[in-house]
Amino acid sequence: MTGNFVATSYAYRHISGPWGLLVDLTASVRANEPTGAAVPVADGLSLEVRDQNTTEEDREQLVPGLLYAAPAIRTAVGTAQVTVTVERLDYPLTDYQPEAAALAVLGWAAEYFGFPPLPAEARYDRASNRYDVVLGEADETR
């Protein structure tokens, strides 16, 4: 895997309470050493965010989503050093949780790299009026 690749978009949608998590993410992949703007996520995998409208919380939440996908990405690309570059992260300004960015980048990675969707869940908690986001197998005892 060498070079730069075309940016693709992914729409994450989840509505199970009185409001939902809606995120549109556009990202691309570069196969080479990361730039100074990229942050390491896992061995051979970095993240760069070019969208100047993202918040610090958005950027922080992209990391666990990509980290969770890292083993599947590594399987898809082999030993190549790759940088995922988020070009755009769009969402409604009302009823948004930054944790939705993790779910969006996870879904984008599955589509882009061609691996099956990984277990992840957004479960609405009525008491806190927020979604609890779980990357991995959810605890069914709740």
**Which pLDDT tens digit goes with each residue over 66-115?**
999 999 999 999 988 999 999 999 999 877 899 999 999 999 999 999 99
Q: Where are the domains of the chain?
A: 3-135
- For domain 3-135, which CATH number applies: 3.30.230, 1.20.120, 3.90.120, 3.30.60? 3.30.230
pLDDT tens, 101-133? 999 999 999 999 999 999 999 998 989 988 999
Q: Tell me, yes or no, if the pTM score tops 0.75.
A: yes
The vertex-56 CA angle with 21 and 94, nearest 5°, equals 35
Contact assessment for residue 67 and residue 104, using Cβ atoms and an 8 Å cutoff:
no
Contact assessment for residue 135 and residue 95, using Cβ atoms and an 8 Å cutoff:
no
